[in-house]
Amino acid sequence: MAKLIITAAICGAEVLKEHNPAVPYTIEECAREAKSAYDAGASIIHLHVRNDDGTPTQDKNRFKDVMDAIYKLCPDVIIQPSTGGAVGMTNDERLQPTELIPEMATLDCGTLNFGGDDIFENTENTIKYFGTKMIERGIKPELEVFDKSMIDMALRLGKNGFIQNPMHFDFVMGVNGGISGELRDFVFLRGSIPADATYTVAGVGRYEFPLAAAAIIDGGHVRVGFEDNVFLSKGVLAKSNGELVAKVVRMAKELGREIASPAEAREILGIKVK
């Protein structure tokens, strides 16, 4: 079985210091959180950025500053900027971090309700546009799917040349508006991707660690972090993203799965060093 790639989603666009005081906003806080995750065993940092007041931004210069600060502390880590950004942003606003030619970036594969009155909009033409930009820029997409239909969309657009093979999926499970994080649903998603595809699972809230266990056993990969969940265990706030990653590392050890270094993660995902 391949070694386990752990992605840390350190910040997100929605979670606030009110939810957990360790949620990072500033450049220094983002670098601190990325380092804590990297030191604990994460090889990929899924990155959103914020203004110092916590409001989400896709500003290219802010991404560059945060990425430079992370690389200073974690020179070989893979940084995967979000192109999802926050609900309501325009496509070109969202695509800005891809101008920095990161090794990876997210590519969201469908539209969904995103709690309350929000709609996270990703029309077919948007996905084609983002997919084309990522091919042009040599960026490996992490295909974020919040429901089964989004896998079908990715496969169809793949056949039409907008996404290349082998595909790498991220099953984001438990968002209010998307698929739930029940094991039955995990098995459904996992059985719906091509044999040559890889996947990581991001369980939201209480689904984070049960789904991590399922992916560890299954040979998949795992995402944890404040974007998805701020608790280490029921009612206990994590002090850092590193604590969440360390818990996955302990689970993997118990279950006999080794942890991938960033170099090993590149090899598993077919990312060429630039």
Roughly how many angstroms between the first and final C-alpha of the chain, as a whole number? 27
How many Cβ atoms sit within 10 Å of the Cβ of residue 107? 29
- Answer for which of 36, 82, 111, 240 binds Zn ion (CB under 5 A) is 82
Q: Does 225 bind ligand KMH (CB under 6 A)?
A: no
Q: With CB under 6 A as the contact rule, which of the stretches 81-89, 195-203, 231-239, 262-270 interacts with ligand KMH?
A: 81-89
Pairing of strands 221-224, 6-9: parallel
- Answer for which of 4, 10, 11, 13 binds ligand KMH (CB under 6 A) is 13
Q: Is 224 exposed, middle or buried (0-12, 13-18, 19+ CB in 10 A)?
A: buried
Amino acid, single-letter form, for residue 264: E
Q: Which option in Zn ion, ligand KMH, none does residue 93 bind, with CB closer than 5 to 8 A by kind? A: none
Q: With CB under 5 A as the contact rule, which of the stretches 68-76, 82-90, 95-103, 135-143 interacts with Zn ion?
A: 82-90
Of 230 and 257, CB closest to Zn ion:
230
Q: Does 146 bind ligand KMH (CB under 6 A)?
A: no
Of 83 and 241, CB closest to ligand KMH:
83
- Answer for which of 7, 43, 82, 98 binds ligand KMH (CB under 6 A) is 82
Task: Supply the minimum distance, in Å, between the C-beta of residue 228 and Zn ion.
Answer: 9
- CA-to-CA separations, 51 to 9, 27, 48, in angstroms, rounded: 17, 9, 11
Task: Supply the minimum distance, in Å, between the C-beta of residue 172 and Zn ion.
Answer: 8
Burial 148-173 (b: 16+ CB within 10 A, else e): bebbebbbebbeeebbeeebbbbbbb
Q: Does 178 bind ligand KMH (CB under 6 A)?
A: no
Q: With CB under 6 A as the contact rule, which of the stretches 27-35, 78-86, 147-155, 195-203 interacts with ligand KMH?
A: 78-86
Positions in the binding site for Zn ion (CB under 5 A): 82
Positions in the binding site for ligand KMH (CB under 6 A): 13-14, 82-84, 86-87, 106, 108, 114, 120, 144
